[in-house]
A and B are shown apart, each in its own frame.
Chain A
Amino acid sequence: MSALFLLQQCLIGLTNGGLIALVALGYTMVYGVLRFINFAHGDLIMLGACAALGLVAPLGLAATGGPPSLATWLGIVAMVLLCGLFCGGLNVAVDRFVYRPLREAPALAPLVSAIGVSFIFMNIGLAWIGPADRGFPQVVPAASLLPGNGVQFGWKDLLVLVVAMPLIVGTMLLMRTTRLGKAVRAVAQDRTAAALMGIDVDRMVATTFFLAGFLGGAASVIAGLYTNTISYQMGFQNGLYAMTAAVLGGLGSIRGAVAGGFVVGLVRALSTAYAGERWTGAIVFAVLIVVLAFRPEGLLGHRVKEKV
């Protein structure tokens, strides 16, 4: 258990974390504006992965062993964009037809509907790719970029960081600096007040759903290329870790979701390495409980005082 081994695990944690953070952002953004956890997000990503699998051949991608060519990179970018648009569009449609009629309903209603939507998605995925695990072509090889046998950092890991990091940073900047981000944040703070200020609330909510879906679509491409298997049940596991990350970081907080994603990724990698993969879930959960016992609002969330 040398320092090199630890470093290796941290690198794995970083790549894992990037993927988890990307998904967690989708949860936390929707939570921010509508105060409910979009349970179907994990399964949306599963559908995105199905779409990505369908796009492999049309985009001229194929399994290779060598370093990816420029055409491969371009193909991957196109795949990220297309899957992003697909998931974003799907998310907006679901918002329009399922969640929007429930804006004034009690808090439980949208959440339960989201569980329903997640079932529908799962069934679509089942019909799309069948009940068995499907292999996803190894478009990007796992071969290490670094010389020697000490620390492995493969093309795949690079891919995750190259796709996830710009999106994560971009989302954070978008929400913090642009007018769109400000409008979305205004809606998140107080929907009625934002509406009175002339912000089109429904459009902002739809925008949020689109952004969340887009990030989810990108995540689905990475998930496919990185793990090389997809199944109609992958949404639940992916979603569970990402939801944990969102809660850990503080629901509704963009920075919190990113931080939570990396913490969960790191904990996952370290516990897989040191305690065995079968205990990973339990250890991540234990970390979550410990953090929540001390900070119920999450790592970077802020305390919300009830209005009286």
Chain B
Amino acid sequence: MRVLAYELRRLRSLRSTWLIVSAVVCCDVAAAVVLTRQLPAGPLSTTEAVRAVTALVPLLPLPFAALGAGALGALSYRHEVRYPGLAASRVTLLRRLWLLVGKLVVLAPVALALAVLTLTLDALAVRLALPTGVTLGVFDDPVLRPELFVDGAPVGPARSLAAFVLLVVVSGWAGLLFTAVVRSAVAGLLALLAVPVLLEPAAAMALSRLGDSWPLWAQELMPFRFSLGRFGLGSGLGSRLGLASSARPGPVAGLAPAGVAELLVTLAVPGVVLLLGCLLAQLRRRAL
């Protein structure tokens, strides 16, 4: 409890926290507006809607909200490295691990709140900035159509949005843990940015070996497949990996439960490696 109280006070009392949150919100809204302006005329598709609402910028490895959460995590650890308030009382391993766990626990709801906030504001921005040719289609008045957000709906964005929120939280944790390994916020953030660049093709390769492809809700959040396809670069690579753009309507319903499990394992392995790295680093150190 003491660790949680400490971390909350620390997070609240720093100006950088509020600066990061406001910068994320500004970038997000701006990107959402620009993406909405570029939409082709006609009814809004699910993919386009998700991309606009989560403000996915092409070739940026992570959404802004995920980046912001990662930055919060990285700075949180760097504070302990550079300005140890009570350095002597962090000598024992158990105290350091508890502090790390406390930081992760506090970071999760903060990242969650950041994701929900950006989603709300982006949805508002998309609605307001919609160009004249585009109609909302099925998204017209989504409050009255709850079936859109029920899991498994053919065109529903529910899974994608949940995946986005999860992505933001995991990015926050990953920023914190990478910084815990390298003890530098900048290096930690760079490592965080490198993860999707490496992980996306690797996971796709693993999936193609198994004869699966990315589920649709995951495809909608992927930075490189989308942009490579848009710039005409991805077709060769994609077809070689069995991920032709034509697969976009995608076998969401046809995806076997085993496929989801494989995907989760593929994504979880780096996380476990990272946690072990943190543990080993803490074992060797005398300070955070």
Whether chain B is bound by chain A comes out as no
Chain B positions near chain A (C-beta within 8 angstroms): none
Chain A positions near chain B (C-beta within 8 angstroms): none
